[in-house]
């Protein structure tokens, strides 16, 4: 059974810092990996999707990498801003298009 | 842009009531999903559907049923609501191969008293 782990569970950084969020998964037979953002009490917003054949994806200040063989992904956020404060979830798509989620990293960017 | 809408943002129901949560997507996606999200437990898959009138159990289907009569609409039904079904319910839809990218609705916060 696929298991997804995210480290750290919570992170607080001052504005302007670059930061890395980590995600690991146990079964490398995945179709893709998605990174989501969730604000308190809200739904999930898709940030980046990396297909299994890709190594990384970039969107603005966000860069996500994927090392399928080692079961790892990282989300890099450059020049963090208070508006980046949210919970970040990674999820992998396995068989039958089902997602398995990590438990998330709660990020706080302070002024 | 893909849009997934859910019928209610907040819902309060009494124990034993029958509850319907509705989800509609506008991107002609084949796949639709219902999750619940609880503190400390993360997101858990309740049911999903590959096509109209098709449904598959997820990880925690007990106490729930679903209906998909039209491609764009996927309903979650709590036959007899209980307090342990108080939760945030999230609907999602996804395209088929090769991307399987999932898009989520805003969620329904259900409280059962």
Tell me the DSSP string of B29-68: -SEEEEEEEETTTEEEEEEEESSTT--EE-S--TTEEEEE
Phi, psi of A97 (to 5 degrees): 60, 20
> Are A20 and A76 a contacting pair, CB within 8 Å?
yes
- The secondary structure of residue A14, as a DSSP letter, is E
Rounded mean pLDDT for each run of 10 residues along chain B, 113 residues in total: 88 97 94 93 92 91 96 96 97 81 93 98
Q: Using an 8 Å CB-CB cutoff, list chain A residues near B101.
A: 32, 34, 46, 49
Question: A32–B99: do the CB atoms touch at under 8 Å?
Answer: yes
Please compute the mean of the pLDDT values over residues A46-55 and round it to a whole number: 93
- The secondary structure of residue B22, as a DSSP letter, is E
Tell whether omega for the bond before B93 is within 30 degrees of 0, i.e. cis.
no
State the best of B90, B102, B110 to mutate against chain A, taking most chain A CBs within 10 Å.
Answer: B102
Q: Is the predicted pLDDT of residue A85 greater than 80, yes or no?
A: yes
Residue B39 sits at the chain A interface (C-beta within 8 Å): no
Question: Which pLDDT does position A95 carry in this prediction?
Answer: 72
Q: What is the distance between the alpha carbons of residues B101 and B99, in angstroms, rounded to a whole number? A: 5
> Are B37 and B43 a contacting pair, CB within 8 Å?
yes
Question: A101–B42: do the CB atoms touch at under 8 Å?
Answer: yes
Question: B100–A93: do the CB atoms touch at under 8 Å?
Answer: yes
CA distances from B36 to B23, B43, B45, B96 (A): 14, 6, 7, 22
């Amino acid at each position: 059974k696929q298991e997804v782990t995210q480290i750290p569970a919570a992170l607080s950084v001052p504005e302007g810092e670059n930061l890395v969020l980590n995600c690991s998964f146990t079964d490398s037979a995945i179709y893709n990996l998605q990174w989501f953002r969730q604000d308190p009490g809200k739904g999930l917003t898709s940030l980046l999707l990396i297909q299994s054949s890709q190594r990384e994806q970039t969107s603005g200040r966000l860069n996500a990498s994927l090392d399928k063989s080692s079961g790892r992904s990282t989300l890099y956020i450059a020049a963090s801003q208070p508006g980046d404060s949210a919970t970040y979830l990674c999820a992998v798509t396995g068989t039958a298009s089902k997602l398995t989620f990590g438990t998330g990293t709660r990020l706080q960017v302070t002024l | 842009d893909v849009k997934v809408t859910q019928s209610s943002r907040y819902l309060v129901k009494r124990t034993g009531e029958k509850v319907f949560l509705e989800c509609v997507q506008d991107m002609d996606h084949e796949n639709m999903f219902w999750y619940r999200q609880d503190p400390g437990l993360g997101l858990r898959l309740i049911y999903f559907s590959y096509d109209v009138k098709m449904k598959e159990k997820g990880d925690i289907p007990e106490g729930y049923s679903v209906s998909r009569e039209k491609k764009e609409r996927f309903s979650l039904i709590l036959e007899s609501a209980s307090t342990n079904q108080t939760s945030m319910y999230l609907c999602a839809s996804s395209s088929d191969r090769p991307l399987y990218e999932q898009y989520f609705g805003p969620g329904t916060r259900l409280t059962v008293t």
